[in-house]
Structure 1
């Protein structure tokens, strides 16, 4: 039932995801259902953090080259009348940019800081816009003031594209930074063209927002396709697991089938031979089961087989192995179990079936359903083969039935020992 529930839920999720893909193709950028929306942004943010970590040293190298080029260029283009003032502002701008990028890296890299990464990213972009606006617009060299517009636009676009923060949140951050920067410039009576500066600040915010929205639209479709692939993989895995389970287990009793028993016997036998530890093999047969089937019907017979299988499973250890050998016959493998331990397990099974008290009016040994048990023990002997081991356990069961059924019989691999 659990298998069917999981499969039905996955199929339902897959159908819903297919609908989302169709809607995204018709109208790109649509918001997902709440849980999927949260998962998308978590993944988007995680990818941004991963990119910052992965390309950190490449970024350091690029920033170093830019710094060298800018310092060299600034040295030659700064107005000599304001050289000291403007050059210091230029250096402070480069140091400030390095500080912002390094802070962003720390929040992306260190596990303890990662939960605050989005807030740190918005704070750094806000600070970078305001501080770089002041540093670049308070220089006296006219070329620097023109260059400021490009630097501010780059900060905006980098903030939207690289941080992984939601475009709307970054839009609010950018607009707040624009307002604060304009108030600061006007309050400090810094000579600026208000119209041009406003267009740069607000225009860069809008452009960055549109670019990030377009990128997120593409990311949304990729996310849905990948989510669809994951759902399909889970469905296929469940089908494969169920097919494997069906191929290894008996459909009626839900215990392992004979094919699986043969495989497990190989493994257990070789392990016992290698480690020279005992391995017990127990054969179980329902007494006069054909008479029961003929009298009560096959449906009742199936119920008896299922009930006995459950009793056997409940009577053995987690390390033991039980299988339906065929018809009304079961086998149990007991690793690291000597004759006395195997007899104790056999007694537990015998009593568990006895407690079921299933009426059997056609039985010749009891008024209820009974079982016969035969077992043998392999002690790791090198001269004993698996076929001998199996045959001796089968002979023990045959002997139990021959002696009148409804009993336990032990047959050693050495014929002279009998318990």
Structure 2
């Protein structure tokens, strides 16, 4: 019942996801419910944090190569009359950006700092843009100013891509950083081309926003496809579980079927032989069941079989195994149980069926449904196999029926003649 409820819910969830996929494919932007939207950004943020943590040393290597290339070549770019001042500015700018990346790694790596990863990312983006603009765009060498504009643009775009934060938050931060930079330049009377500076700052901010928006639109589709795949996997798991259950259990009684019994007997028989422990087998047959079916009808007969199966299952121990052997016959396996224990379990089953008091007018021995039980016990004998063991148990049941039914009969393996 629980599986059916889960299956219905999963199928409903899958239909909702498919509608979201169809809607998302027609537009760029978020179409998620509030809870899903929150989960999507939480996963993106966590993935970004892990990427920063995982690839930090690769980033360090790349940045080191970048510095090795940049610093010597500055000698050929910087105007010699401004060399010392502009070179120091350029070097400090490179160190500053490296420190920003290192601080971002600390917030990604250390567990106590992780909750503040978002805030750190936003602040570092703001600081990197303003400080880099101030250090490099105020250089006297025009080539360095042009180079700085490209670096600031890269900082904008990488901030959008690497941090996993909502683009709208980074857009606001980027615009604020651009505005702060222009105000800073104006306050200190730094000579700059207003249009050029505004283009690179605001333009890079908007370009990064558009790029990240497109990337996250794709990430949304990937997220939806992953959710659908996960739901489909759970649906298939339930279906497979149901198919496995059906293949292992009798449909009428809901207990194990003959196939599962054969597999279980093989396992328990091998264990008993290897460990030299006891394995008891109970064969159970409903007395005069054919007459009951003929008189009361097959529907009533099915109800009797189900009731008896339930009673047997409730009467045995947790470690024991019961299966419908066929028709009105049942079999119980009792691992690590000697003859005395097997008889006690058989008595419990016998009394449980007796308490049902199911009327049976056509029975020759009672006014109620009764059962016959045959018992045998295997104790690791090497001269007998499991098929022969079943024959002994079946003969024990036959003797119980031959002696008048409605009784328990124990058949020892040692007293049976060669089969």
Q: Give TM-score scaled by structure 1 length.
A: 0.91
Instruction: List aligned pairs for 1:18-417, cutoff 5 A.
Output: 18-111=18-111, 113-415=113-415
Query: Cα deviation per residue 1:208-259 (whole Å; 9 max; x = unaligned)?
Result: 0000111112222233233333333332332222222111111111111101
CA positional deviation for 1:111: 5.0
Evaluate the alpha carbon distance shift between residue 54 and residue 303 of structure 1 in structure 2; reply closer, same or farther with a 3 A threshold: same
Q: 1:147 to 1:235 in 2, by over 3 A?
A: same
1:344-393 deviation digits (Å, cap 9, x = unpaired): 22222223323333333333333332222222121122222111211111
Are the equivalent residues in 2 in contact too, given 1:133–1:148 (CA < 8 A)? yes
Measure the CA separation in 2 of the matches of 1:78 and 1:250. 87
Distance in 2, matches of 1:309 and 1:246, equals: 17
Q: Distance in 1 between matches of 2:133 and 2:348?
A: 85
Deviations 1:70-94 (A, max 9, x none): 1112234334444443333322222
Match of 1:2 in 2: 2
Q: Is the 8 A contact 1:137 1:190 kept in 2?
A: no
Relative to 1, partners in 2 of residues 1:173 and 1:357: Cα closer, same or farther, differing over 3 Å?
Answer: farther
Q: 1:221 to 1:391 in 2, by over 3 A?
A: same
Distance 2:143 2:273 in 1: 88
After superposition, the Cα gap between the structure-2 partners of 1:131 and 1:316, relative to the gap in structure 1 and judged at 3 Å, is farther
CA shift for structure 1 position 300: 2.0
What SS class does the counterpart of residue 88 from structure 2 fall into?
A: helix
* Cα deviation code 1:279-301 (max 9, x no counterpart): 12121222222232223222222
Greater CA deviation, 163-172 or 228-237?
A: 228-237
CA distance in 1, matches of 2:251, 2:114: 50
Cα pair 2:20 2:31 within 8 Å, conserved: no
Task: Decide whether the 8 Å contact of 1:372 with 1:407 is kept in 2.
Answer: yes
Aligned CA distance change for structure 1 residues 216 and 410 (closer, same or farther; 3 Å)? same
Inter-CA distance 216–360: structure 2 relative to 1 (3 Å threshold): same
Provide the TM-score with structure 2 as the length reference: 0.91
Distance 1:282 1:207, change over 3 A: same
Alpha carbons of structure 1 residues 103 and 382: separation in structure 2 relative to 1, 3 Å? farther
Distance 1:84 1:29 in 2: 49
SS at match of 2:25: helix
CA RMSD of aligned residues (A): 2.3
How far did 1:115 drift? 4.2
- Hey, what's the Cα distance between the residues in 1 that align with 2:293 and 2:328? 11
Distance in 2 between the 1:257 and 1:32 partners? 47
Q: What SS is found at the alignment partner of 2:414?
A: coil
Distance 1:84 1:291, change over 3 A: same
Q: Is contact 2:24–2:31 with CA below 8 Å preserved after alignment?
A: no
Question: d(CA) in 1 for partners of 2:59 and 2:303?
Answer: 71
Distance 1:51 1:195 in 2: 36
Query: How many pairs are equivalent?
Result: 416
SS of residue in 1 equivalent to 2:323: strand
SS at match of 1:178: helix
Measured against aligned partners, the alpha-carbon deviations of 1:78-122 in whole angstroms (never above 9, x if no partner) come to 344444433333222222222222233333345554444333322
The whole-number CA distance in structure 2 between the counterparts of 1:170 and 1:118 is 10
CA gap of 1:394–1:57, structure 2 versus 1, over 3 A, is: same
For residues 180 and 15 of structure 1, the distance between their equivalents in structure 2, rounded to whole angstroms, comes to 48
SS in 1 for 2:268: helix
Give the superposition deviation at 1:185: 3.1
Q: Which sits farther off after the overlay, 145-154 or 39-48?
A: 39-48
Contact 2:249 2:260 (C-alpha < 8 Å) held by counterparts:
yes
